[in-house]
Structure 1
Amino acid sequence: MSNNSIPLDVAAAEDHLMRFLSVEGVTGQEANIAAAVSDALKKVGVPESAMRFDDANKRIPLPTETGNLIVDLPGTRPGPRLLFSTHLDTVPLCAGAKPRREGDRIVSDGTTALGGDARTGVAVLVVVAETLLKNKLPHPPITLLFTVREESGLHGARELNPADLGGAVMCINVDGQMASDLIIGAVGQENWEAEITGRASHAGVAPEKGISATMVGALALAEARRAGWFGKVVKSDGRGTSNVGIFGGKDNKPAGDATNVVTDYAFIKGEARSPESAFATKIAKGYEEAFTKAQREVTDDAGGTAELKFSHVTSYPPFELGKDTPIVQRATKALKALGIEPVLVFSNGGLDANWLDKHGVPTITIGSGQAEIHTIKEYVNLAEFEKGCRIGVLMATLDD
């Protein structure tokens, strides 16, 4: 099937996209967008009995309105089951988005982000189902997966039960920008936290009796940078990145509440990323060593030190697919059939693909027009969105 022979209704595809962009559904609050997707699927001919929600939200350690939406399309010809995935949620900056068309783009009104990440993917999956059913195109069994809480930690994909995927052997995840980019791998991430409990004292009358949690944290971060663990990390045994995201106090309050009191508590949170899981852990441990060293350096007049609680946990694992992996070959074949030269990409950001691959389903991620994501300048490139829709339909119908 060539580009010209794909029976894609471009106007209908863009209508789906505009509709989904207008439905609010920030991370953890996906019930409304899930209902809109379910309604759209029913209207294009998917029976309600083919749609279900899993219970992943019961295992996610954050309040989450609904589980992942899973849709099964029976095959019209033999072949291994394919999985198409994307995420339902947007970042909070998308709340209240008002999409409008501006030439060959869809934009917001400039006060919010748009939500193209990944409502473009949501639309592509619905368009694939609609195109297959409307035109009676032959295809193997297909599962559509719409995950929750991707933006706040890939939780929906992480807590997914692989048995719910019906034995899918490969996956096309739609969550990128350029149709020519095939994301075949991504870094893993380790999250770390440090709680420092010092001792309050009057900063003017008796500062020597206090133990400054703020100073412990500051010295620790300076030491982590000096030791090469901050920002871009390049060592003889690995490479990665790290960042310090939060330096505060209890319950989202500042670390300290007055200049005349030695700060007795600080909470610091950061991340470490690497193509190698063990090296991401090593970066986190580098921070732990820096905090331990700083803890020893800040004392009161009796030699007392602050209490330090440091922890780190895997947020998602890294993965990388070889060029000869069946899903990479299938995607490459699809792009070339459409006259698109594929560019294989390794991402420095996490994707649902990280967990889907961990669950045993090799996953590539394709683009469908989202751009300037997570900013008020976000837009959807409609030409790339159309290409994403065509790639999806072709991936679903290629001969094995």
Structure 2
Amino acid sequence: MNSSATSIDVAAAEDHLMRFLSVEGVTGQEAAIAAAVSDALQKAGVPASAIRFDEVNKRIPVPTETGNLIVDLPGTRPGPRLLFSTHLDTVPLCAGAKPRREGDRIVSDGTTALGGDNRTGCAILVVLAETLLKHNLPHPPITLLFTVREESGLHGARELDPADLGGAVMCINVDGQDPNDLIVGAVGQENWDVEIRGKASHAGVAPERGISATLVGAVALAEAKREGWFGKVVKPDGRGTSNVGIFGGKDGKAAGDATNVVTDYVSIKGEARSPTSAFATAIAKGFENAFQKARNEVKDHEGEMAVMSFTHIPSYPPFNLDEGSPVVQRATRAMTMLGLKPNYLFSNGGLDANWLDKHGVPTVTIGAGQAEIHTIKEYVNLPEFATGCRLALLLATIED
């Protein structure tokens, strides 16, 4: 085992984690946690001149307090630049979290989620910088990236300017639980959105004069289910998943105003995921065809149909690294040196790694003890967190 793997101050690492868990920073509101991370890095010896923010918040299409936090650590030995990444934000359910230790876990008070996703990653990257500097460990040039708005669409990683990464050749993303798990690929996602404009009429006096947008939507979703496009999707030319997430009216309100009025407007939003972009698009088009068929079936007494607009756009691209790729080999070697048994995974959820890979930096994702994420039962497994710290340090210091 590399001697640097034993240099982690576990108590200090846990202190960093507890501190970060207590700082609120739900998605889009990362300024406070970014300041806490920046302060911790400076106290660890990182000069303020090495810490900067980019301007992705000016490009993200929804309000975002700050840009991505980027830290440049000069190498103490030659070698290609490494990138370590994590995200600053938590899901809204973490607002007001009150972390407390319970045995070998950190838990919340049971009224909120905890925020281990991804305060564990924030703590590990700070511990990594702190340990490298404290022990003067040899390492190549390293960039640390703390992204914003991961939880609400991977926006920080998506809008990132790759030039800000300093030419990093590979990335280790910290965003998971079991340190034995190594995520080497993930599905891509396509979002679809349909607006249906029907025609209102009195539902008791003259229902035949109306065009029910609600009915068009319901028939369309039933048709999509019949054709095998809903839920788990398996076709001869691909596989994936889909979901209908929102069925409502204007401005987030209910579809319709009263039971005695034929509903004249419905907005429906959904997603399609697949290991290939082409099949994610095929799923979205399957829904589009279903909505078109439903539109043709629902008419008023004069044969008039609803007006419908259906759009679909990529949300993030899929990726899948070969086990022989340099970053997977580096991670495998480090995990084996720590006595871990690499379990190569392909994720059905999107990660910052999807966009980092798209930006030209092959990325694997490692675990750091976060468990039951996005629920009030969330906790951090502290032994797994400590192992994640050791793994990150070893990944930064092993010889190429």
Q: In which range does the TM-score fall when normalised by the shorter chain?
A: over 0.9
Specify the alignment match of 1:385 in structure 2. 385
Specify the alignment match of 2:194 in structure 1. 194
Specify the alignment match of 2:272 in structure 1. 272
Contact 1:6-1:394 at 8 Å conserved across structures? no
SS at match of 2:86: strand
Contact 2:213-2:266 at 8 Å conserved across structures? yes
User: How big is the shift at 1:235?
Assistant: 0.2
User: How big is the shift at 1:4?
Assistant: 8.0
Once residues 214 and 287 of structure 1 are traced to their aligned partners in structure 2, the CA distance between those partners, rounded to angstroms, is: 16
- How many residues align? The count is 400
SS at match of 2:191: strand
Once residues 287 and 206 of structure 2 are traced to their aligned partners in structure 1, the CA distance between those partners, rounded to angstroms, is: 31
1:39 counterpart = 2:39: yes
Once residues 18 and 86 of structure 1 are traced to their aligned partners in structure 2, the CA distance between those partners, rounded to angstroms, is: 17
- CA gap of 1:40–1:56, structure 2 versus 1, over 3 A, is same
Match of 2:232, as an amino acid?
A: K
Contact 2:5-2:394 at 8 Å conserved across structures? no
Once residues 327 and 233 of structure 2 are traced to their aligned partners in structure 1, the CA distance between those partners, rounded to angstroms, is: 32
Specify the alignment match of 2:376 in structure 1. 376
Specify the alignment match of 1:103 in structure 2. 103
Contact 2:112-2:375 at 8 Å conserved across structures? yes
Match of 1:376, as an amino acid?
A: I
Question: 1:165-195, CA deviations, whole angstroms, 9 ceiling, x for partnerless residues?
Answer: 0000000000011000000000000000010
Specify the alignment match of 2:73 in structure 1. 73
Contact 1:57-1:66 at 8 Å conserved across structures? yes
Contact 2:4-2:397 at 8 Å conserved across structures? no
Once residues 164 and 3 of structure 1 are traced to their aligned partners in structure 2, the CA distance between those partners, rounded to angstroms, is: 32
SS at match of 2:78: coil
Once residues 93 and 139 of structure 2 are traced to their aligned partners in structure 1, the CA distance between those partners, rounded to angstroms, is: 38
Once residues 257 and 176 of structure 1 are traced to their aligned partners in structure 2, the CA distance between those partners, rounded to angstroms, is: 44
Once residues 127 and 392 of structure 2 are traced to their aligned partners in structure 1, the CA distance between those partners, rounded to angstroms, is: 8
Contact 1:3-1:338 at 8 Å conserved across structures? no
Question: 1:291-330, CA deviations, whole angstroms, 9 ceiling, x for partnerless residues?
Answer: 0000010000110000001000000000000011000000
Question: 1:135-158, CA deviations, whole angstroms, 9 ceiling, x for partnerless residues?
Answer: 000000000000000000000000
Specify the alignment match of 1:86 in structure 2. 86
Once residues 102 and 249 of structure 1 are traced to their aligned partners in structure 2, the CA distance between those partners, rounded to angstroms, is: 45
SS at match of 1:239: strand
Q: How much identity, in percent, do the aligned residues show?
A: 79
1:256 counterpart = 2:218: no
Gaps of 5+ in 2: none
Specify the alignment match of 1:241 in structure 2. 241
Contact 2:139-2:396 at 8 Å conserved across structures? yes
Match of 2:34, as an amino acid?
A: A
Once residues 67 and 128 of structure 1 are traced to their aligned partners in structure 2, the CA distance between those partners, rounded to angstroms, is: 22
Specify the alignment match of 1:283 in structure 2. 283
TM-score by length of 2: 0.99
1:53 counterpart = 2:35: no
TM-score by length of 1: 0.99
Specify the alignment match of 2:154 in structure 1. 154
User: How big is the shift at 1:6?
Assistant: 2.3
Question: 1:240-266, CA deviations, whole angstroms, 9 ceiling, x for partnerless residues?
Answer: 000000000001100002100000000
Once residues 154 and 363 of structure 1 are traced to their aligned partners in structure 2, the CA distance between those partners, rounded to angstroms, is: 15
SS at match of 1:225: helix
Question: 1:73-92, CA deviations, whole angstroms, 9 ceiling, x for partnerless residues?
Answer: 00000000000000000000
Specify the alignment match of 1:302 in structure 2. 302
User: How big is the shift at 1:130?
Assistant: 0.3
Specify the alignment match of 2:119 in structure 1. 119
1:27 counterpart = 2:27: yes
Match of 2:70, as an amino acid?
A: I
Contact 2:200-2:211 at 8 Å conserved across structures? yes
User: How big is the shift at 1:60?
Assistant: 0.5
Once residues 112 and 79 of structure 2 are traced to their aligned partners in structure 1, the CA distance between those partners, rounded to angstroms, is: 43
User: How big is the shift at 1:5?
Assistant: 5.2
Contact 2:5-2:390 at 8 Å conserved across structures? no
- CA gap of 1:302–1:5, structure 2 versus 1, over 3 A, is closer
User: How big is the shift at 1:2?
Assistant: 3.4
Question: 1:182-224, CA deviations, whole angstroms, 9 ceiling, x for partnerless residues?
Answer: 0000000000001000000000001000000000000000000
Specify the alignment match of 1:341 in structure 2. 341
1:207-222 matches, cutoff 5 A: 207-222=207-222
User: How big is the shift at 1:346?
Assistant: 0.3
Once residues 152 and 268 of structure 1 are traced to their aligned partners in structure 2, the CA distance between those partners, rounded to angstroms, is: 18
Once residues 286 and 194 of structure 2 are traced to their aligned partners in structure 1, the CA distance between those partners, rounded to angstroms, is: 13
Question: 1:101-148, CA deviations, whole angstroms, 9 ceiling, x for partnerless residues?
Answer: 000000000000000001100100000000000000000000000000
Gaps of 5+ in 1: none
1:162-181 matches, cutoff 5 A: 162-181=162-181
Match of 1:269, as an amino acid?
A: K
Provide the aligned C-alpha RMSD in A: 0.7
SS at match of 1:20: helix
Contact 2:299-2:306 at 8 Å conserved across structures? yes
Match of 2:185, as an amino acid?
A: G
